[in-house]
């Protein structure tokens, strides 16, 4: 049964759908997928086209609107929006250390989670489309980051369900292996570090002091997690958003207090670090992160903790070496490392499961280059020139490989431009799709 709610400027309706865990076995185990319909107040009865939003991630639930805000300000002018909690996230049958424990051992958990990639998400969306719009109905797709990866899979698997597609910061390399992804990512992250330290030169010494302390004495976080120097470096994930550099600086400003026995890391700092690093609210991001790149035609040996292996090619990210040489200590970025499953209490029970997924070699291909080359669905994409998370060269190459795709390359926004722009990025893409730009 659907449940409707009224919030400032919008009306939302809850939907819950039963979908197969394995779409190749539709009569087998079923899971729930939740979606929230959003329409502008007063337009509930209007015959509006549907827009499906696929959130970034992997493992990220859809945004929770509290009114007509953010990019919804623009979207609701023209569309009835469906915010999908991708399988395993939010109110869709959740996949966490608590729920996965009921499935048995690590092998059973890994086999279960193998059904939580973009191909399954797209097939969920297709079932939902037919139930909401009918077999012949088509909707617009908006894919942010990983949601853009899913959009490319959608165009490869079921383009007949789409009337148009918008992508923001999410054109993946069609044939980029996990190693390729991280080999281009580390230099981008290094440039973000340089920009941060140029903006806040005082942070060079501040970061070196904290790193030196953590090498000698790792700190315990409020949730019992362990803050090692490598975990501290992982705060660089913040540098990929428009305001992240400033937020990181403000966090560092409150790192120390004078305790009974001298200076110590403050509770305020440790709580802020935990808020950034803990995967308790979204463990699938860590467990499935490298799996989103796995394709049997590309990663024939599995992803095998690519971020960790490739890091050895970039010694400038070695904190101890930086401290000895007098160089700035560099933060890392959107990388998932195996040691995270030792330091984060939310991930510790999933360590062996994640290892099995990293070793998996039979991932099906996610994209069909031939079908994309013959694409007939109008596609427009925002490519953020300075994007820390998605390689610009990969994005532009993919843009050329998808027939009819029009790319808007901009350095006005970072990876979070869809959210941060308050509807400006989406408005630009809509105007491009309509031929107004």
Strand 10-20 and strand 30-40: the pairing is antiparallel
Q: Give CA 39 to chain center in angstroms.
A: 25
Q: Which residue is catalytic, options 115, 196, 415, 428?
A: 415
Rounded Cα gap, residues 181 and 184, in angstroms = 6
Q: Which residue is catalytic, options 85, 115, 119, 145?
A: 145
DSSP 266-317: -HHHHHHHHHHH--TT-HHHHHHTGGGG--TTT-TT---SHHHHHHTT-GGG
Residue 144 near residue 118, CB atoms below 8 Å: no
Rounded Cα gap, residues 256 and 74, in angstroms = 43
**Angle at CA 265, nearest 5°, toward 260 and 269?**
135
By three-state DSSP, how is residue 149 classified? helix
Q: In this structure, what token pair is assigned to residue 433?
A: 């799709």
**Angle at CA 256, nearest 5°, toward 252 and 260?**
170
For residue 213, give the nearest of 155, 166, 273 by alpha carbon. 273
- Kindly tell me the sign of the dihedral angle through the C-alpha atoms of 214, 215, 217, 218: positive
Is residue 362 annotated as a catalytic residue, yes or no?
yes
The residues facing 354 across adjacent strands are: none
Is residue 15 annotated as a catalytic residue, yes or no?
no
Rounded Cα gap, residues 118 and 395, in angstroms = 18
Is residue 145 annotated as a catalytic residue, yes or no?
yes
DSSP 326-393: TPPPPP--S---TTHHHH-TTTGGGHHHHHHHHH---PPP---HHHHHT--S-EEEEEETT-SSS-HH
Rounded Cα gap, residues 333 and 389, in angstroms = 8
Rounded Cα gap, residues 423 and 153, in angstroms = 25
**Angle at CA 339, nearest 5°, toward 269 and 222?**
30
Rounded Cα gap, residues 5 and 7, in angstroms = 7
Peptide bond into 203 cis (omega under 30): no
By three-state DSSP, how is residue 121 classified? helix
Known catalytic residues are 145, 362, 415
């Amino acid at each position: 049964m659907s449940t409707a709610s009224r919030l400032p400027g919008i009306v939302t309706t809850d939907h819950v759908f039963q979908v197969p865990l394995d779409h190749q076995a539709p009569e087998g185990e079923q899971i729930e997928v939740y979606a929230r319909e959003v329409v502008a107040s007063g337009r509930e009865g209007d015959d509006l086209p549907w827009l499906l939003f696929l959130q970034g991630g992997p493992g990220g639930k859809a945004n929770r609107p509290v009114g007509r805000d953010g990019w919804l300000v623009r979207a609701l002018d023209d569309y009835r929006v469906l915010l999908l909690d991708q399988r395993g996230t939010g109110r869709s049958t959740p996949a966490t250390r608590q729920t996965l424990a009921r499935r048995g051992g690590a092998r059973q958990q890994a086999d279960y989670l193998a059904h939580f990639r973009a191909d399954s998400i797209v097939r969920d969306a297709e079932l939902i489309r037919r139930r909401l719009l009918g077999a012949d109905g088509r909707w617009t797709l908006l894919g942010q980051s990983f949601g853009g990866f899913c959009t490319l899979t959608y165009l490869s698997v079921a383009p007949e369900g789409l009337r148009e597609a918008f992508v923001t910061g999410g054109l993946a390399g069609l044939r980029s292996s996990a190693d390729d992804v991280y080999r281009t990512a580390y230099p981008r992250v290094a440039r973000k570090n340089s920009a941060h330290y140029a903006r806040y030169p005082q942070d060079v010494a501040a970061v070196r002091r904290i790193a030196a302390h953590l090498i000698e004495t790792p700190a315990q976080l409020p949730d019992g997690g362990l803050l090692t120097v490598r975990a501290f470096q992982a705060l660089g994930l913040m540098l990929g958003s428009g305001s992240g550099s400033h937020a990181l600086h403000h966090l560092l400003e409150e790192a120390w207090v004078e305790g009974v026995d001298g200076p110590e890391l403050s509770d305020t700092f440790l709580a802020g670090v935990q808020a950034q690093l803990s995967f308790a609210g979204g463990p699938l991001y860590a467990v499935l992160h490298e799996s989103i790149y796995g394709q049997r035609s590309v990663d024939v040996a599995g992803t095998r903790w690519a971020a960790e292996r490739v890091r050895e090619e970039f010694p400038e990210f070695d904190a101890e070496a930086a401290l000895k040489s007098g160089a700035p200590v560099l933060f890392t970025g959107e990388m998932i490392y195996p040691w995270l499953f030792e330091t984060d209490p939310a991930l510790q029970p999933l360590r062996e499961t994640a290892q099995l997924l990293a070793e998996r070699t039979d991932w099906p291909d996610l994209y069909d280059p031939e079908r994309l080359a013959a694409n007939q669905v109008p596609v427009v994409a925002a490519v953020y020139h300075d994007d820390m998370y998605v390689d610009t060269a990969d994005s532009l190459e993919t843009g050329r490989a998808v027939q009819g795709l029009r790319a808007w390359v901009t350095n006005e926004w970072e990876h979070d431009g869809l959210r941060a722009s308050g509807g400006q990025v989406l408005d630009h893409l809509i105007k491009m799709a309509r031929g107004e730009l």
